[in-house]
């Protein structure tokens, strides 16, 4: 029995033998190497971290660096801020396009209004010129013999003749109409009555 017990003692557990013969010396050797490398000035821990980050299983075992966490947070904040700014830029560009379209419409309206104003001014100038000319001719017809004035007015175009008769004083107009052909005088009188209404 004692023999069996001795045999058991002599036969070490293979796991314990592997642990004390290989694992423990390996850990001691790695620790010594790490200490020697660190003492020589090489950043062994930094090298392990940077190399370990690229290895999938080991990267999850290594503690995350505070500065890396902070950088990740700042990066995320910067990305959110960038996205927000991009949205603002898009909104501003859309507003800018709308304002440009409104400016273009306003410029077109302005051009139309300027053209209309120019036309109105030209019409007013022409009317003023016509009125001045009519007044000048009215003055000439006042001093003329009624028969001669009637003949001239009968041969004028109707619009000019009507404008002249309308501007004349009643007394002069009456004498000229009296000297005219009765049919023509009736037409001019009818027109003068309609224009007064």
> Beta-carbon neighbour count of residue 150 at 10 Å?
21
What percent of the chain has a predicted confidence (pLDDT) above 70?
78
88 pLDDT band, cuts 50/70/90, is: very high
Cα separations in angstroms, 110 against 55, 120, 160: 71, 15, 36
Cα separation, 113 vs 64, in Å, equals 72
Distance from C-alpha of 193 to C-alpha of 197, rounded to nearest angstrom:
7
Measure the CA–CA gap between 94 and 196, rounded to whole angstroms.
58
On whether the CB atoms of residues 138 and 168 are closer than 8 A, the answer is yes
Q: Does the pLDDT at position 105 exceed 80?
A: yes
Burial 164-192 (b: 16+ CB within 10 A, else e): bbeebeeebbebbbebbeeeebeebeebe
Closest residue by Cα to residue 152 from 120, 115, 132, 179: 179
Q: In the predicted model, what is the mean pLDDT of the chain?
A: 79
Of 111, 124, 195, give the one whose Cα is nearest residue 161: 195
Note whether 126 and 163 are within 8 A (CB): no
Higher-pLDDT residue of 62 and 36 is 36
Paired tokens of 69:
């966490």
Q: What are the tens digits of pLDDT across the range 13-55?
A: 777 778 888 889 999 998 888 888 888 888 877 777 777 676 7
List of residues 6+ apart from 150 with CB closer than 8 A: 176, 177, 179, 180
Q: Give the pair of three-digit tokens for residue 16.
A: 């314990």
Domain extents in the chain: 1-63, 65-125, 144-197
Q: Using CB atoms within 10 A of its CB, is residue 22 exposed (0-12), middle (13-18) or buried (19+)?
A: exposed
């Amino acid at each position: 029995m004692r023999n069996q017990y001795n045999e058991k003692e002599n036969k070490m557990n293979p796991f314990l033998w592997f642990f004390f013969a290989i694992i423990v010396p390996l850990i001691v050797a790695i620790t010594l190497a790490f200490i020697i490398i660190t003492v020589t000035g090489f950043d062994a821990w930094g090298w392990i971290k940077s190399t370990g980050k690229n290895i999938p299983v080991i990267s999850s075992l290594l503690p995350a660096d505070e500065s890396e966490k902070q950088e990740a947070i700042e990066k995320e904040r910067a990305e959110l801020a960038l996205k927000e700014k991009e949205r603002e830029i898009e909104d501003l560009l859309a507003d800018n396009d709308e304002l440009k379209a409104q400016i273009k419409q306003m410029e077109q309206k302005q051009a139309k209004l300027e053209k209309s104003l120019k036309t109105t001014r030209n019409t007013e100038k022409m009317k003023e010129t016509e009125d001045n000319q009519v007044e000048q001719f009215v003055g000439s017809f006042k001093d003329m013999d009624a028969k001669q004035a009637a003949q001239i007015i009968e041969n004028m175009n109707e619009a000019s003749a009507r404008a002249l008769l309308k501007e004349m004083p009643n007394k002069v107009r009456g004498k000229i109409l009296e000297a005219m052909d009765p049919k023509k005088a009736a037409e001019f009188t009818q027109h003068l009555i309609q224009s007064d209404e």
